[in-house]
Amino acid sequence: MNRYARQICLPEVGAAGQARLRAARVVVIGAGGLGAPVLQYLCAAGIGSVLVVDPDRISRSNLHRQVLFREQRIGALKAVVAVETLAALNPECDIRAMSDALDPGNVKEVVQGADIAVDCADSFAVSYMLSDHCKAAGLALITASALGLQGYVGGFCANAPSLRAVFPDLPARAATCATAGVLGPVVGTVGALQAQMVLAHLLGLQPAVMGQMVTVDLAQYRFGGFRFDGAAEPEGALFSFITADAVTPHDFAVELRDVAEAPELFAPGALRCGVAEFVNMPPIPDPGQRAVLCCRSGLRAWRAATALRQHWSGPVALVAMGQGPGDG
């Protein structure tokens, strides 16, 4: 137990707490800027089983903040390299890689049996998808975001409100690290807080991290936070994410990507049009149809769905075909 001596001596941990960490099963979605500190601290602390989920490959622009990776591994799968590095850090942990993207079709299987899910994906579509599933399954979710010099981390679902209860709507323009930029120590700070929340939840520390939000502003060197235990879940139909293969011929499918971005439609017979067309006079589905709106990240689909809701009250589903440079 020499490896964990400095944390076992804490009254909040002790031998019993270390045994709980050893028995814990954690799923971490994303091995990038947030995932780097989260994964290293969790494995170093002695988490028994960690599944790393990330479909991306290492690029040179990652290296200033994704400190699990090195120049020589550019082009390699992030999840695979992360597992190699983490196994060298603590061979006592059972660390596995999944290099497939998390989507509505596999989210249940991916998190099944986990004690907690950790959202480090830098994708609002993944965050909402995870939150929807974790809320329905009663599973704890620690999610975080970092952009520029600011960020937040919060404990959602299980016995706490979901992400939608705190963030029911997206901002007019949802930025990403690719569009807004970020400093490495910012994601390192937020990721370290995220790892602390995971450990605190698994150890049962009080006050509970579920229902707690921590905000970080490293432009002003300010930390804040608030509890949202009483936040109400949004009422009415929600914009849920589905996979492209869940689209049926009866659906009213809309392709929001242009031909240059997506030469092939995401669904046979889909109508191709831009988000701007939805603002004043959107195409309206027939009664009984489900509207399915598709873009790259889900952001444009969310905007179009919000505009469509002003004219039509039927069911709406969103398809995110893969995050990439840009805003959706």
Task: Say if CB 157 and CB 135 are below 8 A apart.
Answer: yes
Measured between alpha carbons, how far is 285 from 89 in angstroms, rounded to an integer?
A: 54
Asked if residue 284 has pLDDT above 80, the reply is yes
- pLDDT of 31 above 80: yes
Q: pLDDT class for 327, splitting at 50, 70, 90? A: very low
Residue 318 reports pLDDT greater than 90: yes
Concatenated DSSP letters for 68-114?
A: T--GGGTTSBHHHHHHHHHHHH-TTSEEEEE-SPP-TTTHHHHHTT-
Catalytic annotation on 273?
no
According to the model, what pLDDT value does residue 324 have? 40
State the Cα–Cα distance between residues 45 and 190, nearest whole angstrom.
18
Helix (H, G, I), strand (E, B) or coil at 214: strand
- Predicted pLDDT at 181: 78
120, 134, 157, 177: which one is catalytic? Answer: 177
Here the tokens at position 169 are 């709507």
Task: Give the chain's mean pLDDT.
Answer: 91
Q: Could you tell me the pTM of the whole model?
A: 0.90
Which residues does residue 252 pair with via DSSP β-bridges, in sequence order? Answer: 291
More confident call, 211 vs 279:
211
Alpha carbon distance 96, 109 (integer Å): 15
Supply the pLDDT for residue 323: 52
Q: Say yes or no to pLDDT of 80 above 70.
A: yes
How many angstroms separate the CA atoms of 184 and 46, rounded? 25
pLDDT digits (tens, 9 = 90+) for 183-237: 999 999 999 999 999 999 999 999 999 999 999 999 999 999 999 999 999 886 5
pLDDT of residue 22: 97
Q: Determine if the peptide bond prior to 234 is cis (ω within 30°).
A: no
Tell whether the model's pLDDT for residue 297 goes beyond 80: yes
Whether the pLDDT of residue 10 is over 70: the answer is yes
**Angstrom distance (rounded) from CA 144 to CA 198:** 12
Give the model confidence (pLDDT) of 137-180 as tens digits: 999 999 999 988 999 999 999 999 999 999 987 755 555 555 56
Tokens of 288: 């009984």
